[in-house]
Amino acid sequence: MSQTADMQRIEDLRKQLNYHNYRYYVLDDPEISDAEYDRMMRELIELETQYPHLVTIDSPTQRVGHTPSSGFSTVQHQIPLYSLSNAFDQEELQAFVNRVQRSIGQDVEFVCELKIDGLAVSLTYQAGVFVQGLTRGDGQTGEDITHNLRTVRSLPLRLNEPVDINVRGEVYMPKASFQRLNAEREAAGESLFANPRNAAAGSIRQLDPRVAASRNLDIFIYGIGAAEALDLNKHDACLKKLSELGFKVNPSYQVCRTAEEIWDFIQDWTSKRASLPYDIDGIVIKVNDLNLQNQLGYTAKSPRWAIAYKFPAEQVVTKVLDIQVQVGRTGALTPLAILEPVFVAGSQVSRATLHNEDIVKAKDVRIGDYVLVQKAGDIIPEIVEALVERRDGSEIPFVMPQHCPVCEQPTKRLPGEAVTRCVNGQCPAQQLEGLVHFASRNAMDIAGLGPAVVEQLVQANLVKTPADLYKLTFDDLVQLERFGKKSAENLLAAIEQSKRRSLANLIFALGIRLVGVEVARELAMNFKTMERLQQASIEDLMEIDTIGEKIAASIVDYFSSPANLQLINELVAVGVNMEMSQESQAELILDGLTFVVTGKLESYSRKEMEDLLRSLGANVTGSVNKNTDYLIAGEKAGSKLTRAQELNITILNEEEFRRFLAERGVNID
């Protein structure tokens, strides 16, 4: 056979194998025997071995690599992956529907989907070929798990159309595969996975893709993050299109028009969930119209156009052995129930937070009580109620201590607050927790500075405040237990490197009450320097959409403290970055502007243009509406161009966009 004929045979085999892979793993409707499939695969492997230069990344032979990875790199998401707000009952669900309809001013269609209990991922295809897969991570960045995702047989390596598209999905482990995996691990004397979700997450993060391949993982695709040349206006149309492209889409979704229809869908699947071959932990409800989704927008953490209804949690009975009090980084005293260990929703539970004094009193939980325990959202252990009828008189009521259990200074509960606090800023517990938070991944990300090392430093009286970290010396560290020359050098290098972290990282690291990662990012983008943030009033802060009065007051209160101002001055003195770099500020020249890209561009692919816009701070959406500021249009722009003209939106071609940026000091030529 000639090389030309071999090349054609390779292409034919790939098409046939991809087709039969889709029939088997996506449609569950195979047309050929396993033996015939294996015969074609062996033939393709032989031909690709003969012609290694013809091997492509989307070939069926490339699903399982043979070289273990040395680790997972972190990659910025093309479009952020937001988490969903939760509803736990019909009343909260009705409140969500009311909010949406009140904001829109009309009745709204919703799509209800099964909430697969697995690992959220983001997949990118270029010209229809799978090129990258990321974990959700913190929503802004995720870990690159491309090689392991290739092992998921229901994930297409090449789509039915050569589109550029980013999609979102959920990797999961079927119940049968989970039971088989745990049986194998038990026989081998290995620890068992707690539940299919943990097993899926652990499998997809294996460094050796052959291990992931052996775990029989599956995936459902549930949404489009960004797409080239797909002009879709509704979410249910997106699901249909995803299926046409070759993705495995869960068929059990429904368009609903009222809260009653949504509730009926939820009740139906609450009763049927156990019959499914995979775990679901709730129902996701989304506004169907994509233009309305854009109109509703996002909070700092989640979309306003979607919510997750969580199924009622599994409940078990156990005994409260003790109630201890923990002191957090803000001085909050939190009662913690120490429980007789019990198995709940897939894992053993031995403690549960009681949050604050009012909750302990309202639930009347006492030391020695038998209690009903569940996992809120199937994750966080909580006490539902005390079983009063089982008391024998030996139970001891809980009393919040009037003195901090760590520093023994008086505690205080401010009017209107549910939390009792230790108000001693020098409390060792607060210092310890504050230092751990300062060094954490989303803060200053100081590798090697975990809770155990922080505790060592505090106990050795080497560190009290974050500024003290930057004064540590090699001699300080090598005197500590388990600290050798190399570990001391590595920690000092990590601390030095953290000085260059972004302003957003630093703001979050300070541990200001109510200021999370997203709010810290917004503060950095809006104020640009720590000095300007320190001087901001409540009114200044509330001009940011995601910041309300409580968060604004907390920020102003933080910067009114002499101790906090002293800490910042000390951080300045040791060289910690206090402002956005000129490069970073230049990157945000389009902050607050919304762009849509359409048509075929000459110098950029649509993805490249959208990446450029986002790097400059712009909000990039897939559809044109009244909130769109600019449309960048290439050839064959189609309906989006027509819509922009109808709405009098500014339209730019590539050359006009270059001049637009040049006028703002950015040259992209």
Q: Please report, as a single letter, which amino acid is at residue 553.
A: A
234 noted as active-site residue: no
Three-state SS across 184-239? HHHHCCCCCCCCHHHHHHHHHCCCCHHHHHCCCCEEEEEEEEEECCCCCCEHHHHH
Strand order in 119-126's β-sheet? 129-135, 119-126, 165-172, 218-227
Strand order in 594-598's β-sheet? 619-620, 594-598, 630-633, 650-652
Whether the Cβ atoms of residue 524 and residue 470 lie closer than 8 Å to each other? no
Look at residues 414, 350, 395 and name the one whose alpha carbon lies nearest to residue 553: 414
As a whole number of angstroms, the distance between CA 411 and CA 423 comes to: 6
As a whole number of angstroms, the distance between CA 517 and CA 502 comes to: 12
| β 421-422/411-412 pair status | antiparallel
In a 3-state reduction of DSSP, which class is residue 18? Answer: helix
Cα first-last separation, the chain: 49
Using the CB atoms, write b or e for 62-85: b if 16+ within 10 Å. Answer: ebebeeebeebeebebbbbbbebe
Three-state SS across 409-473? CEEECCCCCCCCEECCCCCHHHHHHHHHHHHCCCCCCCCCCCHHHHHHHHHCCCCCCHHHHCCCC
In a 3-state reduction of DSSP, which class is residue 578? Answer: coil
Among 15, 115, 471, 485, the active-site one is 115
Q: Please report, as a single letter, which amino acid is at residue 537.
A: S
Q: How far is CA 185 from CA 189, 192, 594, 635, in A?
A: 6, 6, 51, 57
List, by residue number, the catalytic residues: 115
